[in-house]
Amino acid sequence: MLHSKLHSHHYQSICVKDPAIESNHAHIPPIYATSTFTYEDLEAAFAFFRGESDIYTYSRFGNPSTAFLAQKIAELEVCGISEPIEARGLLFSSGMAAISSALISQLKAGDTVLRQSIIYGAASDLIDNDFKAFDIHSATHNFKDLDHLEKTIKKNPTIKVFYLETPANPTLACVDLNAICDFAQQYGIKVIIDNTFATSYVQQPLKFGVDIVVYSTTKFMNGHGTGISGAVVTRSLDDHKKIYQLLKNLGGVCSPFEAYLLNNGLKTLPLRIRQHQYNAQLLAEYLATHEKVKKVNFLGLPTHPDHLLASEQMMGTTGMLSFELKGGLEEGMKFQKKIKFCTLTASLGTADTLITHPASTSHAVVDRNERIENGITDGLVRCSVGIEHIDDVLEDFEQALTT
Ligand SMILES: Cc1ncc(COP(=O)(O)O)c(C=O)c1O
């Protein structure tokens, strides 16, 4: 599609600046609320439908409100990386539309997806259950033990894709991207990663050799909880073309209005992430020393098993943490019922602090034993730490933890 390319600037400048995408000199790219576009002349239309030109014809095929933003997200993905990577972006109607199209683009009947043990519940449901109808199989791995990983691959040559979520929802478990990408290349396996928790401001997976990055842009990138959207960024033109074909024909396109909201949110992403990180660190430290807290999962605490790995492959932490109270489920529920200032809701990445119970929401579809084996106990509470004044969040936690 038509891409108005921004010149390579610093990350936060790319977030803020918009290219001129129309002739009336609007400062902010307008919402192109149109299903179709008229043709210069019939020859132009024929040339487009013969695949010989690249004009806007129909909004499922492309729309200026989404095209420039997809390119902006791709530029952010490689901003500051010395290796020249021609990253390309596509916008989707949701994170799940992005994830499903990215996966389908790499798979055929008989193939297997080796997915990280614990990932977002709907993504594991799609891979383990929905794909069965297409004779696509799934297996899980923690991607920590490389010897075991090698044995798994040698035993099962149908594994064609590694699907990772690092840091993972909600334990923040991380995968060593350098090691896994080297390994995958050796065996001709494609690596797809969900980078929703980190965003490209904190982690740039293409730098490590990842092939395809997927996002629920509904979360930190939109940042205000105002819409549902997703994105895919590819390293190769070939993968971009395959995924664009699915975007067009499965039809999960991002609406111009959602794109407008996403672009508005994206402008302040670095500012917001820095405040999310700062607040999350203080809240994690508070919880870690609280007598009622059994365990805190936060990458900024040296007690997290992936603290070191995260400090090597990420540029800071995220606003996400999870914790378990000593009284398990019962105490976790009591705590949530007492919360007044923070919001109890299932999503994440908004400006305000959100609290959720993974076992009954984001991971409700996951088998209980598998959940518990991977640290998502019945009592685990997840917190997406917002950008409010941290004292108000701490005060709310303090009163909710006091019996
Ligand atoms: C890590 C992660 N990936 C993907 C998704 C799916 O995104 P969406 O709801 O935009 O389809 C979610 C939703 O919560 C998520 O947490």
Confidence check: pLDDT of 2 > 70: no
| Ligand 1, atom 2: closest residue by C-alpha | 120
**Which has the closest alpha carbon to 192: 215, 165, 167, 163?**
163
For residue 230, which atom of ligand 1 is closest to its CA? 10
pLDDT digits (tens, 9 = 90+) for 254-276: 999 999 999 999 999 999 999 99
Task: Calculate how far, in angstroms, residue 74's C-alpha sits from the geometric centre of ligand 1.
Answer: 19
To 10 degrees, the CA torsion angle through 391, 392, 396, 402?
Answer: 30
Q: Say yes or no: CB of residue 172 within 6 Å of ligand 1.
A: no
Q: Say yes or no: CB of residue 230 within 6 Å of ligand 1.
A: yes
Q: In what order do the strands lie in the sheet with 343-344?
A: 293-297, 320-325, 381-384, 354-356, 343-344
Task: Calculate how far, in angstroms, residue 216's C-alpha sits from the geometric centre of ligand 1.
Answer: 5
Confidence check: pLDDT of 3 > 50: no
Look at 53 and 262; give whichever has higher pLDDT: 262
Please give the single-letter amino acid code of residue 333.
Answer: M
For residue 123, which atom of ligand 1 is closest to its CA? 4
Task: Calculate how far, in angstroms, residue 16's C-alpha sits from the geometric centre of ligand 1.
Answer: 24
Q: Say yes or no: CB of residue 196 within 6 Å of ligand 1.
A: yes
Count of CB atoms situated within 10 Å of the CB of 165: 26
For residue 98, which atom of ligand 1 is closest to its CA? 11
| Ligand 1, atom 15: closest residue by C-alpha | 120
Backbone φ and ψ of 10, nearest 5°: -70, 160
Q: Which of 218, 320, 383 to mutate to test the pocket of ligand 1 (most atoms within 8 A of CB)?
A: 218
For residue 168, which atom of ligand 1 is closest to its CA? 1
Task: Calculate how far, in angstroms, residue 387's C-alpha sits from the geometric centre of ligand 1.
Answer: 20
pTM, whole model, 2 decimals?
0.95
| Ligand 1, atom 9: closest residue by C-alpha | 95
Q: Say yes or no: CB of residue 169 within 6 Å of ligand 1.
A: yes
For residue 346, which atom of ligand 1 is closest to its CA? 14
What does the pLDDT read at residue 200? 98
Q: Which of 127, 171, 216 to mutate to test the pocket of ligand 1 (most atoms within 8 A of CB)?
A: 216
The β-bridge partners of 392 are none
- Residue 35's pLDDT band, with cuts at 50, 70 and 90, is very high
pLDDT digits (tens, 9 = 90+) for 164-218: 999 998 899 999 999 999 999 999 999 999 999 999 999 999 999 999 999 999 9
Mean of all residue pLDDT scores within the chain: 94
- As a whole number, mean pLDDT of residues 91-99 equals 98
| Ligand 1, atom 16: closest residue by C-alpha | 120
What does the pLDDT read at residue 169? 87
- Residue 7's pLDDT band, with cuts at 50, 70 and 90, is low
pLDDT digits (tens, 9 = 90+) for 100-110: 999 999 999 99
To 10 degrees, the CA torsion angle through 123, 124, 126, 127?
Answer: 120
- Whole-angstrom Cα distance, residue 72 to residue 265? 13
